[in-house]
């Protein structure tokens, strides 16, 4: 299974992706399981989270990150600081 991809996009790259039209989501400090039924790309506006996959991968995601989660991935979200993001599915 492919892994979580994290980049630090420029404003121009975000505009080209159409991130301004994506859905919004936020979450307070918490921990919960999640499974991706489709590939998700999101941009983090605020906060910090540790995502731990079933395969043992653990990544920190924070403000300014553009993240792609592969379809079918099962993980746990450990939200360390209130998170706010915009997202889209493929």
Q: Which one, of 48, 47, 90, lies nearest residue 70 by Cα?
A: 90
Residue 85 pLDDT greater than 90, yes or no: yes
Per-residue pLDDT tens digits for 49-84? 999 998 888 999 999 999 999 999 999 999 999 999
Residue 1 pLDDT greater than 60, yes or no: no
Per-residue pLDDT tens digits for 35-58? 999 999 999 999 999 999 988 889
Please give the residue range of the domain that contains residue 64. 5-89
Predicted confidence band of residue 2 (pLDDT cuts 50, 70, 90):
low
Q: Which one, of 12, 17, 27, lies nearest residue 88 by Cα?
A: 17
Per-residue pLDDT tens digits for 12-41? 999 999 999 999 999 999 999 999 999 999
Cα separations (Å) of 8 from 62, 67, 81?
A: 10, 9, 19
Domain count, the chain: 1
Phi, psi dihedrals of residue 56, rounded to the nearest 5°:
95, 0
The domain that holds 68 is classified in CATH as: 2.60.120.10
């Amino acid at each position: 299974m492919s892994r979580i991809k994290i980049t630090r996009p420029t404003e121009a790259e975000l505009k080209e992706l159409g991130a301004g039209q994506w859905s919004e989501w936020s979450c307070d400090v918490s921990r919960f399981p999640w499974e991706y039924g489709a590939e998700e790309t999101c941009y983090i506006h605020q906060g910090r989270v540790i995502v731990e996959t079933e395969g043992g991968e653990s990544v920190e995601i924070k403000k300014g990150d553009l993240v792609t989660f592969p379809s079918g991935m099962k993980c746990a979200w450990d939200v360390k600081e209130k998170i706010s993001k915009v997202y889209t599915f493929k």
